[in-house]
Structure 1
Amino acid sequence: MNRHPVAPRLRPLRVGLVCPYALDAPGGVQQQVLGLGAWLRGAGHDVRVLAPGGLPEEAYGLEESRFTSAGAALGVRYNGSVAPVAPGPLAAARTRRWVAAQAVDLLHVHEPLAPSTSLHALAAARSPVVATFHTATPRSRALRIARNALGGAVDRIDAGVAVSPTAREVVTRHLDRDTVVVPNGLDVAAYAAGPGRPESAPWGPGPRLLFLGRSGEPRKGLDVLLAALPALRRAHPGLEVLVAGPGRQHLPAGCRSLGLVGEDDKRALLRGADVFVAPHTARESFGIVVLEAMAAGVPVVASDLPPFVDLLGGPGHQGEPDGPGGWVFPRRSADGLAAAVSAALAQGRGARTRRAQQLAQRFDWSVVGPQVVEVYDRVLAARSAEGAS
């Protein structure tokens, strides 16, 4: 993106945020759209949101009058998951009408090439466009198709944002476009304080490990955690595993499925667990669940996916399976996971959890939000300069 001088803004911006996934379904992209919208509104900007599905109960204060549904979502396999998207002509028509009616200063689309509202909005856009890429799929068929068949849509993007260096590398490789890295944001204070034992999950007497995610998706790594259980139980009798999130995977004795939990219960679960485990094996561009655990002050054990290692402050010292803000183990290694969990249980809340909470502050919306607005201002300055020439 060309660097143009940015003049002081004379009025708040009207920003259109577009989410490709059903807003009332759980997901990291949805959370980012809602969280960014809340921060922008708090900063005085006028925010309008378009997405499939309905407005969730926990909408971060988003008013119904500022939300438009593109229609019912359809589960489509995308990026190693089943994504709740709106790919059809009816959603495309609703998106075109919404784009024309909002008269926004700038359109901010998330996952712009997902087969849903973001791609529809990109095709209809007349205002400047910022696009955030969340994907971390090294061999993305969707991005290869986009490069060859959707070149015109990609060219409508004035500025690309990647949520991590991993996501940036994917965009550069498949779309031959540069992006600026602006990480995902989080309301850190909301995780740091509050109750630690939700009524929905009564505790047992032993140590508690917490897994958050879709249990039926292999890339989330629950099978790796379950494979480590025999060794963990020999070392820690009475150990219990709590599994929170959608999915119906059969769990062995000593594991409890809590199903989908609300935001308040999720935060309480994180604060009350003895160790949070993120055993993911692939396709993670950022790791919002790791960041949430860091902010909550629970000891974190994570696989060595680059985004997780970056969040935890980088690799540990040579010969140690840990990072400054937590414990890192080789992905897919049940033995490595068991060793890291044992180390985390031995230390408990201490120097590493304090370090993790310090590191989490880098991603508070008070830090990330202004970075996003700086991208907006650069894009608008570039458009203004083009209009004046």
Structure 2
Amino acid sequence: MRIGLVSPYSLTLPGGVQSQVLALGRALRQAGHAVRVLGPCDGAPPEPGITALGNSIPTAANGSVAPVAPDPSCALRTIRAIRDETFDVIHLHEPLVPGPCQTVLFLNATPTVGTWHAAGGNNAYLVPGTRWLGSRISRRVAVSPEAAQMAADALGGEYEVLWNGVELERFAKADPWPSEHPTIFFWGRHEPRKGLAVLLDAFSRLPAGVRLWVGGSGPETDRLRALHGRDDR
């Protein structure tokens, strides 16, 4: 099949939704499908097979900053891309976030799958107009029961829960790093919403035999390393 994957968030910036979109594209290509990823890009696309839809606009949302592109130029690029490609199905991630996903739903030209990622936070953007757009989605999916409940509370309808994918081959190649002590592993972006600063503060109060492994990066990485980097646990 020819599949279009659409992200409302900038594909050149770190984020859970963007990571899932790009990884899903790689997996579908390996399965033999023709895949094109559409989304905002602040700079050159991070990998082949991406149609850049313009720069994003940093927007405060759900305790973080969402790099979305709700501007007319992005909408025009989205329309052009959809008309140039002959997709059999289009998969929209966070389908009602303002930007290219909403534009695709306005066009209503191709069967669509919509996947909801967010759970909790503010759903004020789900005004009556966007709820109408939601009715144009052919199949509704959520990455967790909590995300499904949030979408159902706002929009109604049925949602199939399909968990986020993991690129097993990529992580299976890592060398084992055994520990003889109780160990906590944090993996995620280093930003206030993810709670790493809270974890590090609490960890400093734990017994000396406990270990903490931290993965990922983010806007708080340097500050937190300066504060806690001397703790060799």
Q: TM-score, normalised by structure 1?
A: 0.53
> 1:23 offset after TM fit, Å?
1.0
* Residue of structure 2 aligned with 1:34, choices 17, 22, 31: 22
User: 2:164 matched to which residue of 1?
Assistant: 184
Task: For 2:138 and 2:10, locate their aligned partners in 1 and report how far apart those are by CA, in whole Å.
Answer: 25
Indicate if the aligned counterparts of 2:7 and 2:18 stay in contact, CA closer than 8 A.
yes
What is residue 301 of structure 1 aligned with on the other side? none
Deviations, residues 14-59 of structure 1 (Å, cap 9, x unaligned): 1111011111111111111111111211111111110100421xx4
1:159 aligned partner: 139
- Normalized per residue, the structure richer in helix is 1
Identify which of 70, 84, 89 aligns with 1:87: 70
CA shift, 1:69, in A, is 0.3
**Is the 1:242–1:256 contact (alpha carbons within 8 Å) kept by the matching residues of 2?**
no
Secondary structure of the structure 2 residue equivalent to 1:245: coil
- 1:109-149, Cα deviation, whole Å (9 max, x unpaired): 11011122212222223011111111102552223x2xx12
Taking the aligned partners of 2:210 and 2:62, their CA distance within structure 1 comes to: 37
Structure 1: distance between partners of 2:167 and 2:213: 26
**Identical aligned residues as a percent:** 38
Could you tell me how far apart the structure 2 residues matched to 1:254 and 1:96 are? Answer: 48
Paired positions, count: 226
CA deviations on 1:238-284 (whole Å, 9 max, x unpaired) are: 96664641113733777239xxxxxxxxxxxxxxxx9xxxxxxxxxx
TM-score, normalization: structure 2?
0.85
**CA displacement at 1:178 relative to structure 2:** 1.2
Letter in 1 for 2:45: L
Counterpart selection for 1:216 from 191, 197, 202: 191
Q: What displacement does 1:196 show?
A: 5.9
| Residues 216, 187 of structure 1: alpha-carbon distance in 2 compared, 3 angstrom cutoff | closer
Q: CA RMSD in A?
A: 2.8
1:174 aligns with 2:174: no
User: Which SS does the other structure have where 1:215 is aligned?
Assistant: coil
Query: Is the 1:122–1:156 Cα contact (8 Å) retained in structure 2?
Result: yes
Give the ranges of 4+ consecutive aligned residues of structure 1 lying more than 6 Å apart after TM superposition.
none
Q: Any gaps of 5 or more consecutive residues in structure 2? A: none
Helix, strand or coil: the match of 1:251?
helix
Q: 2:201 aligns with which of 212, 216, 227?
A: 227
Paired residue type of 1:87: P
Shift of 1:93: 0.7
Give the match for residue 99 of structure 1: 82
Cα distance in 2 for residues equivalent to 1:240 and 1:79 = 27
